[in-house]
Amino acid sequence: MTKRVPVVEKLLSANDRLAQENRARLDEAGVFAVNLMASPGAGKTSLIEQTLPRLTERLRVAVVDGDIATSIDADRAAQAGAVASVQINTGGECHLDAVMLHQALGQLDLGQIDLLLVENVGNLVCPATFALGTHKSVLIASVPEGDDKPYKYPGMYRGVDALVINKIDLLPYIPFDMDYFRRGVEALNPGLVTFPLSCKTGEGLDAWIEWLLHNLTPTTRPPDH
* pLDDT single digits (tens) 178-216: 999 999 999 999 999 999 999 999 999 999 999 999 998
Positive or negative, the Cα torsion across 150, 11, 65, 92? Answer: negative
- Rounded distance between C-alpha atoms, residue 143 and residue 169, angstroms: 9
pTM attached to this predicted model: 0.90
In a domain, 216, yes or no: no
CB atoms within 10 A of CB 207: 13
Within a domain: 147? yes
Q: Is residue 219 part of a domain?
A: no
Q: 211: how many CB neighbours lie within 10 A of its CB?
A: 16
Does any domain span residue 186?
yes
Residue 102 CB coordination number (10 Å):
16
10 inside domain: no
Residue 168 lies in a domain: yes
Domain membership of residue 79 as a residue range: 16-209
Domain count, the chain: 1
Q: Is residue 68 part of a domain?
A: yes
Residue pair 153/124 in contact (Cβ under 8 Å)? The answer is yes
pLDDT score of 220 = 54
Angle, helices 7-29 vs 98-105, to 10°: value is: 30
What is the per-residue pLDDT for 103?
95
- Domain-located, residue 169: yes
Q: Which residues of the chain have pLDDT under 70?
A: 1-11, 217-225
User: 190 in helix, strand or coil?
Assistant: coil
Q: What is the pLDDT of residue 6?
A: 61
Ranges of beta strands (E only) in the chain are 32-38, 61-67, 84-89, 115-119, 136-142, 162-166, 193-196
Q: Any idea what the CATH number is for the domain that residue 174 is in?
A: 3.40.50.300
**Residue 7: predicted pLDDT:** 53
Going by the DSSP 8-state scheme, the letter that residue 141 receives in this structure is E
